[in-house]
Amino acid sequence: MLKDWSDVYRIGIEEIDRQHQDFFMASHRLYQTILDGQGQQGVSESIEFLRGYAENHFSAEEGLMRAHAYPDLSDHVRQHVSFMRRLGKLEHDLRTFGPSRDLAERALELTQDWLIEHIADEDVLYALHVKSVTPDAAQPGSAASS
Ligand SMILES: [Fe+2]
């Protein structure tokens, strides 16, 4: 089910919150592209866009955690790696079986629902850590510069 972005998903680090919101939109675009029957090309472009976005976003998060010596970095990185692996599997299935409602729902579950859960279960934890070490981390621009 498509969900609206909500401020409850914010972790209080402005740059990361903006990225999460864009990730959410890329997820919806992928879902819509699969449903719209825009063919293999459109689906591949959407999934490539999401993959690139996820890679950049994950590396921004990992850089932030590293810069603040987050103790659970390796567990968190494992979650990112597992997401990329599942995205690869979805892409493979879309190529093999072609777009369908089932695969659209799976794409939404993997991207939108995963992100919501990942934010609530994992990202909030590193955000708390970052903010406890660097109280001004929530300020615009500080995520990249710290
Ligand atoms: Fe994360």
Tell me: the pLDDT tens digits for 38-53? 788 899 999 999 999 9
Per the domain annotation, does 139 fall within a domain? no
Cα of 108 from ligand 1 centre, angstroms = 17
Give the pLDDT score at 136: 75
Per the domain annotation, does 28 fall within a domain? yes
Per the domain annotation, does 94 fall within a domain? yes
Per the domain annotation, does 3 fall within a domain? no
Half-sphere exposure of 84 (CA within 13 A, CB side): 16
Cα of 119 from ligand 1 centre, angstroms = 7
Query: Whole-angstrom Cα distance, residue 27 to residue 81?
Result: 18
Is the pLDDT at 29 greater than 50, yes or no?
Answer: yes
Which residues constitute the domain of residue 58? 13-132
Number of folded domains that form the chain = 1
Cα of 79 from ligand 1 centre, angstroms = 7
Per the domain annotation, does 49 fall within a domain? yes
Which residue has tokens 């979650």? Answer: 79
CATH number at residue 113: 1.20.120.50
Per the domain annotation, does 22 fall within a domain? yes
Per the domain annotation, does 119 fall within a domain? yes
Query: Whole-angstrom Cα distance, residue 109 to residue 100?
Result: 14
Half-sphere exposure of 37 (CA within 13 A, CB side): 0
Give the pLDDT score at 67: 96
Cα of 103 from ligand 1 centre, angstroms = 24
92 pLDDT band, cuts 50/70/90, is: very high
Per the domain annotation, does 141 fall within a domain? no
Report if pTM > 0.85: yes
